[in-house]
């Protein structure tokens, strides 16, 4: 497969993490006979936020995927020639966010909960499910004032069903607020579900999903939510399992796929920054394009490094390891993925377990 990837890096910083991502991309190319055309762009800091100029935005839109070494969606924006400022989701017309909570070796899981629970959950959040009219209008009319974005809802449900089919074939849908939005989701599920007869769907209140995460998170698989509920679930997962410094997230739009770390790495020493979340962002990217075995090779490499104590849940690396060394290990492990696969059988099954 040939993929054109735009790489975004922090303004005025060494590209240490990006270099490790590129090493892993080249390892995937070598091991699986793919071709990645890479263009690297440095963003600009302006007024405390990250600016993507017109040239970068156009290059990103002309790429198959965008891979950032920092959470560009959090405070990134584009400024038009008319002076109109738009956030990243608006700039790239994103309709969905995907956040996985992935399994890690016990040597990495330092938290109380994560030490005895092998969690593997993917949360789909609808960014453009629709809009509500003002509270004043809703109060006057006495009816549900939600205006659904049917196309985006269908696209995200198809992505969620497809992912569940390739994983453990279970999709939990958090019932949204408002009767009209709920009816739209129920109708959409009824239309799409017959195309995925192997996937079991569970439409339930958000409180049920939260209780399941607290008690038996290993029983969950894919979760479909609106944006507000997605934020609640992702925040809960981060607090319970303490993995936010290691996890990626993705955002899908019409012809645009953006991948980034879930959290920033504020380490002052750039050679000590933990590259794992950016490497996992690459795995999420590969999985999005159907390259499940390649994404699995990255997961096995990351697990192998974790079992050897080469990183922890912190945003900086152990004192005896630097970013470049970890990148070298991961790239070599990807090339030799067939040799380390047996070690990680309990964490990944290439036939079923996929990120998205």
Residue identified by tokens 């793919």 is 34
Whether 284 maps to a domain, the answer reads yes
User: Are residues 351 and 257 part of one domain?
Assistant: yes
Whether 13 maps to a domain, the answer reads yes
Residue that is last in its domain, among 191, 209, 241: 241
Tens-digit pLDDT profile for the chain (356 aa)? 999 999 999 875 668 999 999 999 999 999 999 999 999 999 988 888 999 999 999 999 999 999 999 999 999 999 888 889 999 999 998 988 999 999 888 888 655 554 456 789 999 998 875 454 444 444 444 444 445 567 778 888 999 999 999 999 999 999 998 788 888 899 999 999 999 999 999 999 999 999 999 999 999 999 999 989 999 999 999 888 888 899 999 999 888 899 999 998 766 678 899 999 999 999 999 999 999 999 999 999 999 999 999 999 888 899 899 999 999 999 999 998 766 544 444 333 443 557 88
Residue that is last in its domain, among 221, 241, 261: 241
Whether 101 maps to a domain, the answer reads no
Domain holding 137, by residue range, is 112-241
User: Are residues 265 and 159 part of one domain?
Assistant: no
Looking at residue 105, what is its pLDDT?
Answer: 87
| Coil vs helix vs strand at 268 | coil
Looking at residue 254, what is its pLDDT?
Answer: 80
Looking at residue 117, what is its pLDDT?
Answer: 66
User: Are residues 159 and 85 part of one domain?
Assistant: no
Whether 106 maps to a domain, the answer reads no
User: Are residues 116 and 228 part of one domain?
Assistant: yes
**246 in Cβ contact with 273 (< 8 Å):** no
What CATH number is given to the structural domain containing 317? 3.40.718.10
Residue that is last in its domain, among 225, 241, 257: 241
Looking at residue 112, what is its pLDDT?
Answer: 53
Looking at residue 337, what is its pLDDT?
Answer: 75
Looking at residue 140, what is its pLDDT?
Answer: 47
User: Are residues 340 and 322 part of one domain?
Assistant: yes
Alpha-carbon separation of residue 296 from 160, 262, 284, 351 (angstroms): 19, 20, 10, 10
**16 in Cβ contact with 271 (< 8 Å):** yes
Looking at residue 46, what is its pLDDT?
Answer: 87
- To 10 degrees, the CA torsion angle through 260, 262, 116, 343? 20
**Exposed e or buried b per residue across 16-34, where buried means at least 16 C-beta atoms within 10 angstroms of its C-beta:** bbbbbbbbbbebbeebbeb
User: Are residues 236 and 149 part of one domain?
Assistant: yes
Report the domain count for the chain: 2
User: Are residues 45 and 135 part of one domain?
Assistant: no
What's the whole-model pTM score? 0.88
Looking at residue 110, what is its pLDDT?
Answer: 57
User: Are residues 154 and 198 part of one domain?
Assistant: yes
Looking at residue 149, what is its pLDDT?
Answer: 62
């Amino acid at each position: 497969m040939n993929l054109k990837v735009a790489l975004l890096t922090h303004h005025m910083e060494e590209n240490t993490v990006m270099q490790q991502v590129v090493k892993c991309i080249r390892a995937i190319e070598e091991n699986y006979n793919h071709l990645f055309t890479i263009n690297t762009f440095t963003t600009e800091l302006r007024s405390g936020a990250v600016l993507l100029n017109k040239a970068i935005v156009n290059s990103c839109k002309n790429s198959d995927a965008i891979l950032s070494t920092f959470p560009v969606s959090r405070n990134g924006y584009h400024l038009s020639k008319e002076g109109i400022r738009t956030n990243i989701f608006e700039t790239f017309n994103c309709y969905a966010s995907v956040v996985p909570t992935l399994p890690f070796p016990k040597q990495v899981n330092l938290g109380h909960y994560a030490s005895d629970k092998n969690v593997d959950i993917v949360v789909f959040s609808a960014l453009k499910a629709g809009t509500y009219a003002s509270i004043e209008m809703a109060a006057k009319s006495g009816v549900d004032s939600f205006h659904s974005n049917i196309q985006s809802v269908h696209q995200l449900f198809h992505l969620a069903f497809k992912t569940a089919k390739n994983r453990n074939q279970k999709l939990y849908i958090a019932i949204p607020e408002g009767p009209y939005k709920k009816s739209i989701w129920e109708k959409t599920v009824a239309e799409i579900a017959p195309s995925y007869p192997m996937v079991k769907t569970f439409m339930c209140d958000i409180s049920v999903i939260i209780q399941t995460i607290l008690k038996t998170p290993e029983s969950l698989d894919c979760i479909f939510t609106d944006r507000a509920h997605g934020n609640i679930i992702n925040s809960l997962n981060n607090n319970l399992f303490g993995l936010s410094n290691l996890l990626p997230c993705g955002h899908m739009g019409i012809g645009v796929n953006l991948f980034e770390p879930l959290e920033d790495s504020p380490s002052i020493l750039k050679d000590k920054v933990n590259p794992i979340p950016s490497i996992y962002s690459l795995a999420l990217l590969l999985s999005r394009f159907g390259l499940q075995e390649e994404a699995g090779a990255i997961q096995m490499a990351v697990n192998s490094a974790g079992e050897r104590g080469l990183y922890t849940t912190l945003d900086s690396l152990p004192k005896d390891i630097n970013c470049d060394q970890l990148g070298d290990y991961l790239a070599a492990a990807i090339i030799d993925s067939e040799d380390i696969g047996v070690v990680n059988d309990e964490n990944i099954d290439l036939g079923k377990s996929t990120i998205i």
